[in-house]
Amino acid sequence: MAIREGKWDCSYCGAVGIPGPETKCTGCGSLRDKDVKFYLPDNAPEITDEAELAKAKQGPDWHCGFCGVDNVATATKCKQCGAGAADAATHRKVQEIPDAPDSPAPAPVRSTPAKPGSKKGLFIFLGILLAIALGLYFFVFRTQSQTMEVTGHAWEQSIQVEKFKLVVEEKWADKMPAGVRELSRKQELFKTEKVKTGTKRVKTGTKDLGNGRFEDVYKDKPVYEDRKIMKAKVRYEIERWVPERKAQAKGEGTDPKWPKIDLRQGEREGAKNSTYSLLLKGPKGDSLTWTTSKQNRWKAFVKGQAVNAEVRASGGVADVKALEKK
Ligand SMILES: [Zn+2]
Ligand SMILES: [Zn+2]
């Protein structure tokens, strides 16, 4: 650990860069101030002389409270007035000074006062949003009650037919179902991990030794490396129920039927779906359709009945209710 010589500045005559170990100003001869601040210039050379190193390591200087002179740590009596080291002596601080980070921290984002124009922009943006919402409401979702006449019923019912058959899937080897026929396998990147591969010594700061010298401070910092984790990915064949065909039946009237299906070898019935439509006619002869999945509600309407239809601006019918008989 390198030890280097620091400097101090004289607060009486303004001389700068006085060698750290000097206890008197090289310009005016004033004593080192009680509150003197040592500093380490960039590229200060390393001390290599054994005797000088020993002086650096003996500890912080102490400041005599009686005459104001600085004494080395090992001195038991003040070199100027003879006062004991234990009487009114102030030891200079030994402290660590962290290095400034390599990359300067990003400048804080200055919050600029809002310009009149930017506020105007916000209002325009909000205005456009409001216009879109109103437009959707007026031209698509807005409904209007309209008296209409039921002109007929229509229905459509379907059954999905599924077949048990071989399909090809791909999964990580450890997620593959048991007892399947493997087609191929290859190594693929599963994930990337940060792995600690060692440590490196990094200079993190300097230590003010309190006697005009500084010592470099090092710390062990972990070194990480990205490591790719590969895993086997497998393509295999497996038997599964898959949609095969759809059987559909449709017609008019209020008696819906399910399509007839002849299940072949290895087939089964899957999801069923039904849609019921009520055909409506308006006073001006316009025709509309209300569609629902609720058979009972649909069946309850009869041909020729007057109903109240909630007609959307887009032309769809949101709901239909029987008109109260007067
Ligand atoms: Zn001076
Ligand atoms: Zn003294």
Residue 109 has pLDDT above 80, yes or no: no
For the ranges 45-59, 247-261, 266-280, 304-318, the lowest mean pLDDT is seen at 304-318
Judging by beta carbons within 10 Å of its beta carbon (0-12, 13-18, 19+), is residue 122 exposed, middle or buried? exposed
**Mean pLDDT across 238-247:** 95
State how far the Cα of 294 lies from the Cα of 306, in Å rounded to an integer: 20
Contact present, 280 and 154 (Cβ < 8 Å) = no
pLDDT bucket at 325, cuts 50 / 70 / 90: low
Of the chain, the percentage scoring pLDDT greater than 70 comes to 94
**Mean pLDDT across 274-283:** 94
Contact present, 186 and 171 (Cβ < 8 Å) = no
Side-chain-side CA neighbours of 326 within 13 Å: the count stands at: 2
**Mean pLDDT across 193-205:** 93
Task: Report CA(14)–ligand 1 centroid distance (Å).
Answer: 6
**Phi/psi of residue 119, each to 5°?**
-70, -35
Angle at 224 between CA 222 and CA 226, to 5 degrees: 175
State how far the Cα of 12 lies from the Cα of 33, in Å rounded to an integer: 9
pLDDT tens by residue, 136-149:
888 888 888 989 99
**Mean pLDDT across 217-245:** 95
Task: Report CA(214)–ligand 2 centroid distance (Å).
Answer: 25
pLDDT bucket at 208, cuts 50 / 70 / 90: very high
Residue 103 has what pLDDT?
A: 57
Residue 292 has what pLDDT?
A: 95
Residue 202 has pLDDT above 70, yes or no: yes
**Mean pLDDT across 293-322:** 92
pLDDT bucket at 314, cuts 50 / 70 / 90: confident
Residue 125 has pLDDT above 60, yes or no: yes
pLDDT tens by residue, 36-95:
999 999 889 999 999 999 999 999 999 999 999 999 999 999 999 999 988 888 999 999
DSSP for 55-98? HHHT---EEETTT--EE-TT-SB-TTT--BTTSSEEEPPPEEEE
Residue 119 has what pLDDT?
A: 83
Which residues hold their Cβ within 5 A of ligand 1, which is an ion?
10, 12-13, 15, 25, 27-28, 30
Task: Report CA(71)–ligand 1 centroid distance (Å).
Answer: 18
Q: Residues near 193 by Cβ (< 8 Å), separated by ≥ 6?
A: 226, 227, 229
DSSP state of 118: H
* Residues in the chain, overall count: 326
**Mean residue pLDDT across the chain:** 91
Task: Report CA(274)–ligand 2 centroid distance (Å).
Answer: 106
State how far the Cα of 130 lies from the Cα of 172, in Å rounded to an integer: 49
Task: Report CA(185)–ligand 1 centroid distance (Å).
Answer: 81
Task: Report CA(87)–ligand 2 centroid distance (Å).
Answer: 10
Calculate the CA dihedral of residues 135, 141, 145, 148 and round it to 10 degrees.
120
| 3-state secondary structure at position 23 | coil
